[in-house]
């Protein structure tokens, strides 16, 4: 239970800290690079270093980790963009809605048969997205609303890579897989910094570290929670709790007030997340 609580707090902290520091950060990719450097270092520390001779599963962990790293950076960039333009609560909600993508991948790639509740959850999630885009909507927000489904898609595919590793990778190399994932994300962010001539100043260094610590532990505590509790308990509890925590933080600390349409969509998404994991 402790791992589950820590996973919830770590996941919510990533969005809240990112929202807190966005006004102070000038070089986004510099901050991302520092964040992923911290994650990679923590992964290596817990993995005890990388020893290629340990197992034949190392090649799979490395290959999938490299793909996941690119996806991690992309989804993180989408998250930051959506926090800025669509608010903390909406961005976190749609990030967690990525469970729809992982469910669809499990159905079509791993040939898992969906339950009735999962089918209803997918339909509810689609209804929530349509609810945001149909009709009026808040002025000034509509041109950025389409980035929310993109966040869902990217976040879902990223989470699906972890599911692929759970099913096909060596359990003893989970920390090594995370090290390759965060290491690849760091290299990509660093390359983007060089291309865009961005420099990581004191602000990027500070906030990159502050974001990187909960970012790593959100992944680690999730794996620990899944080892101790059934997935049907872990995923709905984490997803729903993070949505509620970030919505409360957005209201209390940043003065965010979602309109009626957005609030209704969030409630529908909460119901969809619960159905998807029953």
pLDDT bin (cut points 50, 70, 90) of residue 139 is: very low
Predicted TM-score (pTM) of the model is 0.77
pLDDT digits (tens, 9 = 90+) for 44-79: 888 776 665 556 688 898 999 999 999 989 998 898
Pull the structure tokens for residue 253: 């600390």
- How many angstroms from the chain centroid is the CA of residue 177? 17
CA distance 58 to 169: 9
Q: How much is the pLDDT for 104?
A: 76
CA distance 100 to 112: 14
CB proximity list for 78: less than 8 A, separation 6 or greater: 147, 150, 151, 154, 155
Q: How much is the pLDDT for 66?
A: 93
**Vertex 257 angle, CA 136 and 74, to 5°:** 80
């Amino acid at each position: 239970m402790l791992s589950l609580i820590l996973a919830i707090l770590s996941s919510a902290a990533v969005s809240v800290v990112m929202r807190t520091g966005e006004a102070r950060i000038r070089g986004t990719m510099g901050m991302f690079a520092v964040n992923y450097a911290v994650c990679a270092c923590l992964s290596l520390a817990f993995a005890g270093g990388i020893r290629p001779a340990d197992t034949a599963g190392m090649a799979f962990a490395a290959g999938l980790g490299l793909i996941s790293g690119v996806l991690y950076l992309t989804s993180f960039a989408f998250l930051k963009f959506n926090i800025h333009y669509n608010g903390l609560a909406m961005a976190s909600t749609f990030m967690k809605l990525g469970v729809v993508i992982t469910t669809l991948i499990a159905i079509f790639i791993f040939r898992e048969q969906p339950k009735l509740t999962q089918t209803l959850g997918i339909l509810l999630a689609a209804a929530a997205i349509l609810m945001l885009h149909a009709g009026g909507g808040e002025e000034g927000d509509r041109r950025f609303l389409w980035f929310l489904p993109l966040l869902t898609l990217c976040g879902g595919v990223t989470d699906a890579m972890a599911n692929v590793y759970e099913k096909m990778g060596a359990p003893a190399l989970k920390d090594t897989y995370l090290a390759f994932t965060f290491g690849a994300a760091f290299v990509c962010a660093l390359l983007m910094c060089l291309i865009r001539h961005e420099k990581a100043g004191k602000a990027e260094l500070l906030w990159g570290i502050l974001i990187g610590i909960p970012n790593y532990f959100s992944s680690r505590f999730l794996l620990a929670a899944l080892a101790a509790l059934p997935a049907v308990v872990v995923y709905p509890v984490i997803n729903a709790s993070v949505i509620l925590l970030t919505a409360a933080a957005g209201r209390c600390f940043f003065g965010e007030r979602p309109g009626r349409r957005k609030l209704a969509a969030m409630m529908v998404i909460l119901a969809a997340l619960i159905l998807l994991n029953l």
